[in-house]
Amino acid sequence: EAEVAQSPRYKITEKSQAVAFWCDPISGHATLYWYRQILGQGPELLVQFQDESVVDDSQLPKDRFSAERLKGVDSTLKIQPAELGDSAMYLCASSPGAGRGGYTFGSGTRLTVV
Amino acid sequence: GENVEQHPSTLSVQEGDSAVIKCTYSDSASNYFPWYKQELGKGPQLIIDIRSNVGEKKDQRIAVTLNKTAKHFSLHITETQPEDSAVYFCAASDDGNQFYFGTGTSLTVIP
C-alpha cells in the first residue's frame, strides 16, 4: 500500500535553532499539504501545494516558517528560529487532487522545542 | 470559512457495545465528509467517507450517516473491540480541496 513518507519521526531542538522536515507524497499525487497538530487538537492546515505552486499559505507564520516543493514532488517545511510554542506534530498529507477522494497522511514528525 | 464541531471529546464503551460520534458543519458548500482514526504517535488514517449525495454508507462494523439539511454527520461503530481505541476525527471539505477537521474524540473500548 502506498504511503506518504515523512522524516524525521522525532526531532528535539533548542529554541532559536533552525529545523526542517521532509515529506515524500504518494507517487502521482499532485496536491500536498502540511498540517500542524497540537496535542489534543485536530490538524490545522499550514500550507497547500498544487504541484510546485502554493495554493494556500494563509495560516503559515511566514516570519519563521517556509515551505517549498521545488519539483512538484517532495517537500520541505522549515522553521527558523524555532520557538517553544512550535512544539507539535507536523503532518504531511497528499491527495490526487480536488474531488478525487480523501487525503493520505504520513506518520508525522513530532517536534519538541526546548 | 467552515467550522466543524465534534462531540463528545471523550467516549468510553464496553467491548461489544456501539459507539457514536457526532459532527456538525457550518458551510453548506461542503460536500465531502471523511472520518479518520489516529493511533498514538501515528498520522490519521482514513476509515470511511461520505459524499453529500449519499445519506448513509457502511463498511463492516463502521457506518457514517449524513443529514445535509441539519448539517450534521455521525460515525457509528458497532461491536466495538479494544483495537478500536484511538482518537477519531471528522472533517468537512468543499470538493476535496481543503479540509476542516473537528477537534477529535478519544474513544476507549473497555475489555
Would you list the DSSP string of A15-70? TT--EEEEEE--TT--EEEEEEE-TTS--EEEEEEETTEEEE-TTS-TTTEEEE-T
Tell me how far apart the alpha carbons of residues A83 and A66 are, in angstroms, rounded to a whole number: 15
pLDDT digits (tens, 9 = 90+) for B5-63: 999 999 999 999 999 999 999 999 999 999 999 998 888 999 999 988 889 999 999 99
Residues of A in contact with B45 (CB under 8 A): 105
Is the pLDDT assigned to residue A4 strictly greater than 90?
A: yes
pLDDT at B107 over 90: yes
The residue ranking higher by pLDDT, A72 or A60, is A60
Chain A residues lying within 8 Å of B48, measured CB to CB: none
Residue of A nearest to B37 (CA): A105
Q: How far apart are CA B96 and CA A74, in angstroms?
A: 21
- B100: nearest CA in chain A? A44
Q: Decide if A91 touches B, using CB distance below 8 A.
A: yes
pLDDT tens sequence across A5-16? 999 999 999 999
Predicted confidence (pLDDT) per residue in A14-43, tens digit:
999 999 999 999 998 999 999 999 988 889
